[in-house]
Amino acid sequence: MKCEIVAVGTELILGDIVNTNAQYISRKMAELGYDVHYHISVGDNMDRVAAVIKNSLQRTDVIITSGGLGPTDDDLTKEAVCKALELSMKLDHYTLDKIKRHFNDLNKEMPVCNEKQAFIPEHANVIENDNGTAPGLIIEKNGKTIILLPGPPKELIPLFDNKIYHYLRSKNENIIKSKTLKIIGVGESLVQEKLKSIFDSQTNPTIAPYAKDGEVHLRITAKSADERTASELISALESKVKAIIGENIFGYDSDTLESVVVRKLMEEGKTISIAESCTGGLISSRITNVPGASKVFTNGIVTYSNESKIKFLGVGQDTLHNYGAVSSETSKEMAIGIKNISNTDIGVSITGIAGPEGGTKEKPVGLVYISISYGNNVKAFKENFSGDRERIRRNASSKALDIIRREFL
């Protein structure tokens, strides 16, 4: 079944708030097997909202609105829907009593304007809002369904989860199930090229790529009457993708590079320490954001100056003089130094030029060396990144985590 989401509120149009409601509803509708075709934002104007509803009714089965159910004069969603559907409104005494009880519980007198929220479109089903005064509404007419939800997320989310979700589930035979494969080391265009035959022949399940923060995410989505069949459809296509993309797939769904690294270190019983220069502690920060990281991560140190590299890591003065701070030689000595002083299984270092100044023809902005010391071995990787300072630092930290994953885990 097709669905459209209409978010009502001038504050959305002006960019004063982010429309998180549409994102939330879309995810839920996907779970329920509905195809969301449009997100529409419209200001607090009755004629415009009514026009949007009329247009949406011509091409969709279900319309879900958010916002515009409050007590003020600019809350006009109910009125606009009634205008679009040629419906009248009537006072619902049960809803009015509930609103009055809400204010009584707060030891407050109900403002007169709140009575407006108790006027309900004819033939509408009232869905009680346990977290506010504006009830949700379901209107069914001519085979179409319009669901009106309050705008505040603290009201909309529980109302949808506890009441609307079950209603929508009963109206749709199919479910939609998705799985996201997370890829690093190859860009979106190369992923498209490698998987061209799969993209060209997709039906059910479908597959869609998304570029995000130096990664490519592949979302496989299957539609079926039951979850088991949908999972089997996804697994079959996933196997084809893995055969082509291989170890560039680092995780799934909610996985992050750092969570994968921490999990694998735990499984292997290995400890790690990190010395950072150009990333300024970003790698350590990402690792320590993972719950349980303390079991494998002993310490990180930011050695930004040459003096700190000598003092804390034992990098040789001759190494710095002959090769410079941004070099494979310095990077290797940093990795060995952090591993030795921390007494860990793995030592990782990173040094580079994040910019925007400091680059030369021989060592341009974006040049980064990453080294890993393990046992008696040490290995350096030379990388070149583009973009501004923040992007270089972020991508460099991701590359370091990916090297750890590939080299040892």
pLDDT at 269: 95
pLDDT at 409: 61
pLDDT band at 31 (very low <50, low <70, confident <90, very high): confident
Q: Identify which of 184, 192, 227, 224 has the alpha carbon closest to the alpha carbon of residue 205.
A: 224
Does residue 282 contact residue 394 with C-beta atoms inside 8 Å? yes
pLDDT at 203: 92
Q: What is the mean pLDDT of the chain?
A: 96
Sign of CA dihedral 24, 29, 31, 35: negative
Domains parsed from the chain with CATH numbers: 2-171 (3.40.980.10), 175-252 (3.30.70.2860), 257-408 (3.90.950.20)
pLDDT at 249: 97
- For 119-143, the pLDDT digits (tens) are 999 999 999 999 999 999 999 999 9
DSSP 233-264: HHHHHHHHHHHHHGGGEEEETT--HHHHHHHH
Radius of gyration over alpha carbons of the chain, in Å?
28
pTM of the model: 0.79
Mean pLDDT of the 201-208 span: 93
β-bridge mates for residue 369, sequence order: 351, 382
Mean pLDDT of the 65-86 span: 96
- For 242-263, the pLDDT digits (tens) are 999 999 999 999 999 999 999 9
Measured CA to CA in angstroms, residue 3 lies from 39, 141, 145, 175, 390 at distances of 9, 15, 9, 14, 39
pLDDT at 175: 83
pLDDT at 134: 96
Q: Identify which of 271, 277, 297, 251 has the alpha carbon closest to the alpha carbon of residue 408.
A: 271
The percent of residues in the chain predicted with pLDDT above 90, rounded, is 94
pLDDT at 174: 83
- For 286-306, the pLDDT digits (tens) are 999 999 999 999 999 999 999
pLDDT at 398: 97
Q: Return the axis-axis angle of helices 77-85 and 46-57, rounded to nearest 10°.
A: 50
pLDDT at 282: 98
- For 154-192, the pLDDT digits (tens) are 999 999 999 999 999 999 888 888 999 999 999 999 999
Q: Helix (H, G, I), strand (E, B), or coil: what is residue 187?
A: coil
Q: Identify which of 155, 143, 4, 140 has the alpha carbon closest to the alpha carbon of residue 68.
A: 155
Extended beta strands in 193-317, E state: 206-212, 215-224, 249-252, 272-276, 297-302
pLDDT at 310: 98
